[in-house]
């Protein structure tokens, strides 16, 4: 895993402490060109990977990256799925089967791809939904979300916390095993799990035989948005074998940057930090702070959300 990862929250007007800042960011990044300018600044500062949702706007960014291979030859995406609002809106607009058809990959060069393969997968997704077959639904949704990243580097594919924590609470733990196997075999990528309850998730993944998983979770000195409290997270970091990607390390601005970075870099099992930034200056400043505590080289830095 890359040490430093840049996220996409700012591009979609997400700020956990200030609605005013969130609105200002949403207005600033209405145009795709504004988003691309920040990503280009990140690349110039040595940041070469992007952890993102599967929002429709990300599909346009993927098109831009595919269209400029000389600029983005080493750029990598870390997709996080599902983007729940997209599916809810599609079902409302087109009905269940219409939504399935909308997200179905149409041009697939892999075995079983092409139009016939797309129809077969549409049938598989629809039948699985009708019969409540978890494996068919789960793998269909992953394939649908990954359509926009065709031909791009996606070394880690994340399951979003909205689904991870729902499955965790419902006890539908076998879905994690299904996701793990499908991501590895179909995409040759490593599966990752985003959660707001890391102390509960880790023992479940261990029982499923998912060894040394990549888990992205909130880690900060204030205990901000850390379900179960900071002590539970500290114990989990010390006791479990996993690769932790820390997000919300600044507690949405509640912790001074120097203090926040110093603390999180000292925690066991924390291998990467996900951060958001709107300007080249902020990207450069965050990278400089992390470099005081971790060895960073130009080729081993990433952008995530």
Phi, psi dihedrals of residue 7, rounded to the nearest 5°: -105, 175
**Alpha helix (H) residue ranges in 171-302:** 174-187, 198-207, 230-239, 257-265, 280-291
Task: Tell me the two tokens of residue 144.
Answer: 């649908």
Give the lowest-confidence range in 42-51, 105-114, 132-141.
Answer: 105-114
Q: Is the pTM of this model over 0.85?
A: no
Position of tokens 């983007």?
83
Residue 28 falls within a domain, yes or no?
Answer: yes
pLDDT, position 125: 47
Higher-pLDDT residue of 127, 219: 219
Location of structure tokens 């791009």 = 152
Work out whether strand 156-159 and strand 49-52 pair parallel, antiparallel, or are unpaired: unpaired
User: In this structure, what CATH number is given to the domain that contains residue 226?
Assistant: 3.20.20.100
How far apart are the C-alpha atoms of 75 and 69, rounded to whole Å? 9
Q: What is the pLDDT of residue 47?
A: 86
Question: Per the structure block, which two tokens stand in for 62?
Answer: 């993927």
* The pLDDT of residue 98 is above 90: no
The whole-number pLDDT of residue 96 equals 52
Please work out, in degrees rounded to the nearest 5, the angle formed at the alpha carbon of residue 188 by the alpha carbons of 148 and 106. 30
Domain ranges, residue 172: 4-83+154-291
* 229 belongs to a structural domain: yes
When pLDDT is cut at 50, 70 and 90, the band that residue 111 belongs to is very low
In a domain, 73, yes or no: yes
Is residue 296 in a domain? no
pLDDT at 217: 97
Domain assignment present for residue 59? The answer is: yes
The reply to whether 248 falls in a domain is yes
The dihedrals phi and psi of 278, each to the nearest 5 degrees, come to -110, -10
Q: Does residue 104 belong to any structural domain of this protein? A: no
Which candidate, 1, 65, 10, places its Cα nearest to that of 275? 10
- Total of domains in the chain: 1
In percent, the amount of the chain with pLDDT more than 70 equals: 75
Alpha-carbon gap, residue 229 to 207, rounded angstroms: 23
Report the distance separating Cα 73 and Cα 43, nearest Å.
11
C-alpha distance across the termini of the chain, in Å: 15
pLDDT of residue 271: 95
């Amino acid at each position: 895993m890359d040490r430093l990862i840049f996220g996409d929250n700012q591009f979609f007007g997400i700020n956990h402490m200030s609605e005013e800042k969130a609105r200002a960011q949403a207005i600033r990044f209405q145009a795709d060109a504004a988003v691309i300018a920040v990503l280009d600044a990140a690349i110039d500062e040595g940041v070469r990977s992007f952890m993102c949702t599967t929002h429709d706007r990300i599909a346009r960014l993927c098109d831009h990256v595919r269209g400029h291979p000389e600029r983005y030859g080493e750029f990598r995406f870390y997709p996080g799925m599902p983007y729940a609002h997209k599916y809810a809106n599609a079902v409302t607009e087109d009905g269940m089967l219409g939504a399935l058809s909308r997200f179905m990959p149409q041009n697939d060069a892999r075995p079983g791809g092409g139009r016939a393969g797309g129809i077969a997968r549409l049938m598989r997704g629809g039948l699985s939904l009708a019969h409540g077959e978890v494996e068919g639904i789960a793998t269909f949704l992953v394939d649908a979300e990954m359509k926009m990243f065709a031909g791009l580097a996606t070394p880690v594919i994340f399951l979003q916390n909205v689904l991870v924590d729902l499955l965790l609470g419902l006890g539908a733990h076998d879905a994690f095993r299904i996701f793990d196997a499908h991501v590895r075999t179909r995409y040759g990528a490593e599966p990752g799990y985003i959660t707001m309850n890391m102390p509960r998730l880790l023992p479940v993944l261990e029982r499923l035989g998912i060894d040394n998983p990549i888990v992205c979770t909130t880690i900060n000195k204030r205990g901000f948005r850390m379900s179960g409290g900071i002590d539970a997270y500290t114990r989990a970091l010390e006791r479990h074998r996993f690769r932790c990607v820390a997000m919300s390390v600044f507690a949405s601005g509640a912790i001074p940057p120097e203090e926040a970075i110093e603390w999180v870099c000292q925690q066991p099992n924390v291998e990467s930090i996900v951060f958001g930034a709107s300007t080249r200056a902020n990207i450069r400043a965050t990278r400089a702070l992390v470099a005081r505590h971790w060895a960073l080289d130009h080729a081993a830095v990433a952008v995530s959300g």
